[in-house]
Structure 1
Amino acid sequence: MTSRTLVVVTAGLSKPSSTRLLADRLSAAAVDHAARAGVDLRVRVVELRDLAHDLMNHMLTGFPPAALREVLDAVAEADGLIAVTPVFHASYSGLFKSFFDVLDKDVLVGKPVLIAATGGTARHSLALEHAVRPMFAFLRAATVPTAVFAAPQDWGGDEAEGQLRQRADQAAAELATEIGRRETARPADPFALTTSFEELLAG
């Protein structure tokens, strides 16, 4: 069985939060689908609320504290990403955006990403398509077609719960497929020479 890594970034502010609950459901489904395809998917969950001060310090100084640097490296080395944000004022949260603002510009190029969100009303579901997906398109990530939104009513009742589970399963299957068909991620070496000595000498 081949091994791959999945980083789950969740921007929920409370503990417990529906954002983390959705993230856990999506990652569990992705692990299940990957296992069926012969892939051992190792999951790392990142709670952005624990990195809020580090993110601000990085944005102000340009230097990430050690804990944030380790998470940024984990994202760069991951074979796939699940990104879940609460929706505030019809868009992603500031904490969520700040994290992706400090990523190196090429980190997500071609990386499979599943996007998801939670909100106080189903009317916020379009935020995934008019705010979250365009951001990942700009970052040139390979965002899977199915996005998952969960409103409060999606957590109660057999019918609503079943519909949410179905959407999550579809999105997780797409993510697992994309991760499985790619080579293991190899982050760029910042000290690697991109120009040969002959080219350097030639001017």
Structure 2
Amino acid sequence: MKWLAYILIVAGISIMFYPKAHSMFYSYQEKQLLDDWSASTSIPKDQIQQSYQQLNDVFSRERKSIENKDAKTSQTSMIGKLTINKINLTIPIMEGASQQNLKIAAGHLKGTSAIGEAGNAAIAAHRSYTYGKQFNRLPEVEPGDLIQIETTKKILTYQVTKKLLVEPSDLSVLRNNMNESNVTLITCHPMKNPTHRYIVKAALYKEEVL
């Protein structure tokens, strides 16, 4: 019967370490995107609304078991990286706020302005249960703090202007002002069973061409 005891011990250890392994896997994928990337218009309102409301499912869906196909992302999918020194965060940005993209990166909402262009570029990310990961610490960001986004062509520095807590149906946070360049960061609130969206808005402060 010793073999049964050994099996039970191994099973217990596996269950205990699974959440940590799960978190480490996605952290690795996030870092790979950043490392690989370093080496190297007007859209109808209904499309913006569809993209924004898609977050309801993305934010509320339970995290599923890791599958190999989930890890199949490419450097070409990454459009930039976002850094907030205030909360020690650097995260890849991918085009589209899909469930797959948000497992390892932040996602630019399709239908919103291009990052760095006039208008309002919306970027969404999960709030990870691991401290300091994804937008976990976004509520610590305050007006006046700086957000940096690096694309293949520019380094854009934004200054936070406000933070909000809104209903998931509130599209006003995506409103465009074509006279300036803004970025809107979006995540869920609270972390478990989210009922609202936590929003941080920032305006372009400085632009550097690479």
TM-score by length of 1: 0.28
Structure with greater proportional helix content: 1
Structure with greater proportional strand content: 2
